[in-house]
Amino acid sequence: MSLCQDRVVIITGAGGGLGRAYALAFAAAGAKVLVNDINLPAAEAVAGEIRANGGQAAANSGDITDYAASAGIVRAAIEQFGDLHVVVNNAGICRDRMFASLEEADWDAVMAVHLKGHFCIASHAVKYWREQAKGGKTLQARIINTSSGAGLQGSIGQSNYAAAKGGIAALTLVQAAELARYGISANALAPAARTGMTEQVFADTMKKPDEGFDYFAPENVAPLLVWLGSEVSSGVTGRMFEVEGGKLSIADGWRRGPQVDKGGCWQPEEIGAAVAQLVEQAVPAQKVYGT
């Protein structure tokens, strides 16, 4: 039996790039895929490609930034395929500017698509799954979120994007901790791949080679998604994966580092020496992208 045989999967932003690669890979593994994209013709093209290859898929253009519309996306998957097992939050946009030039609209748009979009779809899926669990059903449900290296370590000119992606990383930790009791896992990934967004910035670096291994192909990321969406990944939750080419790693999150304890209240004049000691002992953070 295929790894995701008859599992029902919602993938947002699946009309192209990474989302399309995920949709095709899940379908090849036996899943029934709801291809969501704000661009309906793009979603229909991917769903049609899956069906042409013998798989099951439906297109959907619901707005993930709207809470009520997101309920409709979840409902559409359940009505079309009879159940729901996996939500892949993939959709994203960029509005890159240096922080001093960033406008409120740039901030709001990125937060809406990335951070609120991750909340809206998952919220309705979790309500559906929780009711199933309360009814006695044993679940193997999955939330797969999309963060970014920008969210893990920052990126010059992308304060809005980095903040949203950092929020998604933290959201994933909380989802994993809270939802395990229902049989729901939550993981995230920070992919490095050629997409509509990255091609605008890294066109030369990420271009497809004339021959040999296509290092930045979206298809290199898809196998991890299929595995995470399957039942065999049940022991893995609350993890942040990084994928680049043939490289797969788990990111190390924030953790308490070196400390000094005075045993009482510090005086402002004492702080400088203590901070100098801590900085000397601490492992340096990875550099912000672009520095």
* Catalytic residue list contains 148: yes
Q: Kindly give, in sequence order, each residue whose CB lies less than 8 Å from that of residue 289, ignoring residues fewer than 6 positions away.
A: 149, 150, 153, 154, 155, 156, 158
132-153 b/e (C-beta count within 10 Å ≥ 16 → b): bbeeeeebbbbbbbbbbbbbbb
Q: What is the pLDDT of residues 36-82, one digit of tens each?
A: 999 999 999 999 999 999 999 999 999 999 999 999 999 999 999 99
* Third-level CATH fold of 8-250: Rossmann fold (3.40.50)
Which one of 22, 32, 147, 165 is the catalytic residue?
165
- Could you tell me which of 31, 35, 38 has the C-alpha nearest to residue 8? 31
3-class SS of residue 277: helix
User: What does 4-50 look like in DSSP terms, one character per residue?
Assistant: TTT-EEEETTTTSHHHHHHHHHHHHTT-EEEEE-SSHHHHHHHHHHH
Distance CA 60, CA 73 (A): 7
Domain spans in the chain, listed from the N-terminal domain onward: 8-250
State residue 196 phi and psi, 5-degree precision: -60, -35
Amino acid (1-letter code) at residue 215: Y
Q: What is the pLDDT of residues 107-118, one digit of tens each?
A: 999 999 999 999
Q: What is the pLDDT of residues 82-130, one digit of tens each?
A: 999 999 999 999 999 999 999 999 999 999 999 999 999 999 999 999 9
Distance CA 143, CA 147 (A): 13
Amino acid (1-letter code) at residue 67: Y
pLDDT band at 253 (very low <50, low <70, confident <90, very high): confident
Whether residue 90 contacts residue 115, with contact meaning beta carbons closer than 8 Å, is answered with no
Which one of 22, 116, 147, 148 is the catalytic residue?
148
* Catalytic residue list contains 161: yes
Distance CA 173, CA 238 (A): 5
Structure token pair of residue 100: 């001093």
Q: What is the pLDDT of residues 163-214, one digit of tens each?
A: 999 999 999 999 999 999 999 999 999 999 876 655 455 555 667 767 776 7
Distance CA 83, CA 92 (A): 26
Mean predicted lDDT score pLDDT of the chain: 93
- Could you tell me which of 60, 61, 54, 52 has the C-alpha nearest to residue 79? 60
Which one of 32, 70, 161, 185 is the catalytic residue?
161
* Catalytic residue list contains 247: no
